[in-house]
Amino acid sequence: MNDAEYERLMPAIQRSTGVDLNFYKPRQMVRRLDGYISRVAGGSTQTFADLIEKDPAAADALKDFLTINVTDFFRDPHSWTDLETKVLPELLARSSALKIWSAGCSQGSEPYTIAMILETLAPNRPHKILATDLDAKVVDRAAAGGPYAKSDLKNLSDAQLRKWFDEEDGGFRINNDIRKRVTFRRHNLLMDRFDSGFDLIVCRNVVIYFSEEAKHDLNERFAAALRPGGYFFIGGTETLLDASTMGFERRSTSLYQRGPDLVVAKAA
C-alpha cells in the first residue's frame, strides 16, 4: 500500500478498533498490514476498509492482529532473576505494601508471575498489583485466571504448577490465592491517564511498534509515575536510549531505577 492508501485507511482502523496508528512506526505497520490485507481482502485496502467498518468480527480480528498478545509466565526467565533476587527484596525492605503496575499485561501471565514471586518472598502482604491492557478480551481472560494451556506454563516447575494452579478440563487456571492479588483493567497507554506513586512499573514487549516519539513520551510519563527509587522493568530486547534525561538510572539490561531528582516531570 502506498502512503496515500495508508493515510486513508488509518481513520477506518481507528473507528473500528480504537487503535490510532499515528502512534506507531509507519514503515513497519505498512509492511505488517500489507501481508494481513492480502490474506483477508485480496490486497485491496478499500475492500479491507469496508470489511472492518461493516463486520465487527473482522474488526476484532484486526485488533487481535495489531495488539499481538504473545506472552508467557516468567517470559525470558533470566531477565526475571534480578527482579526476584535484588529488586523485589529491596522494595519489600522499604515497604510492606507495594504498588505495582503491569502495563500491557496481555492474558495476565506477567502480573501473575509478579504475584507468585511476592507470595514466595513474603506471603500475605497487602500489595496492590494493577494489570492493564488495551484489549478487553485478554483482560477478561486474565481476570478469570485463564485457563492457560500447558504450553503457556513451560517456564514453571511442577511444584509451582501444583502450588499456584488448579487443573481443569482443557487447561490450568490460576488459583484464588494468586488471582485475588491482581486487579485487571482495560486501559490504553497512548490515550488514557494513569495513576502515580508506583514502586515498580513493568512494561515489556508492548512499545516495540510505537513510534519513537510515542515511546519517549510514554517513558517520561512512566518515570513521573514512579516513586523516587522505584523501578521500571522492560523487555529483554528493549533499551531506554535516553534514560538519564528521563530521570532513570540503568541497573541492568532490563531494569531502570528512578533517581531521587526527576529531571523531566510530566503530568501523567
- DSSP class of residue 261? S
Comparing C-alpha atoms, which of 156, 76, 69 is closest to residue 116?
156
At closest approach, how far in Å is the CB of 257 from ligand SAM? 20
Quick note: the x/- pattern for ligand SAM over 14-53, rule CB under 6 A, is ----------------------------------------
Q: How many residues does the chain have?
A: 268
Pick between residue 135 and residue 199 the one whose CB is nearest to ligand SAM: 135
Binding segment (CB under 6 A) for ligand SAM, from list 145-153, 156-164, 201-209, 226-234: 201-209
Comparing C-alpha atoms, which of 103, 98, 89 is closest to residue 199?
98
Residues linked to residue 234 through DSSP beta bridges, in sequence order = 203
Pick between residue 50 and residue 64 the one whose CB is nearest to ligand SAM: 64
Separation CA 152–CA 75 (nearest Å): 10
Number of residues that bind ligand SAM (CB under 6 A): 23
Q: Judge whether 221 and 212 are in contact, CB under 8 Å.
A: no
Q: Is 146 in the site for ligand SAM (CB under 6 A)?
A: no
Q: Is 205 in the site for ligand SAM (CB under 6 A)?
A: yes
Beta strands in the chain (DSSP E): 99-103, 128-133, 165-168, 171-174, 182-186, 198-203, 226-234, 248-252, 255-258
Separation CA 227–CA 197 (nearest Å): 5
Q: Is 257 in the site for ligand SAM (CB under 6 A)?
A: no
Q: Which of 16, 17, 67, 211 binds ligand SAM (CB under 6 A)?
A: 67
Q: Which of 138, 156, 224, 226 binds ligand SAM (CB under 6 A)?
A: 138
Binding segment (CB under 6 A) for ligand SAM, from list 44-52, 71-79, 84-92, 148-156: 71-79
- DSSP class of residue 135? -
Residue tagged 482502523 (cell numbers):
13
Q: Is 133 in the site for ligand SAM (CB under 6 A)?
A: yes
Pick between residue 2 and residue 151 the one whose CB is nearest to ligand SAM: 151
At closest approach, how far in Å is the CB of 241 from ligand SAM? 20
Q: Is 134 in the site for ligand SAM (CB under 6 A)?
A: yes
Distances (CA, A) of 105 to 102, 120, 143, 186: 6, 21, 11, 10
Residues 72-91 that bind ligand SAM (CB under 6 A): 72, 75
Separation CA 156–CA 56 (nearest Å): 37
At closest approach, how far in Å is the CB of 124 from ligand SAM? 26
Q: Which of 5, 135, 199, 220 binds ligand SAM (CB under 6 A)?
A: 135
Pairing of strands 198-203, 99-103: parallel
Contacting residues toward ligand SAM, per CB under 6 A: 67-72, 75, 104-106, 110, 133-135, 138, 187-190, 204-206, 235
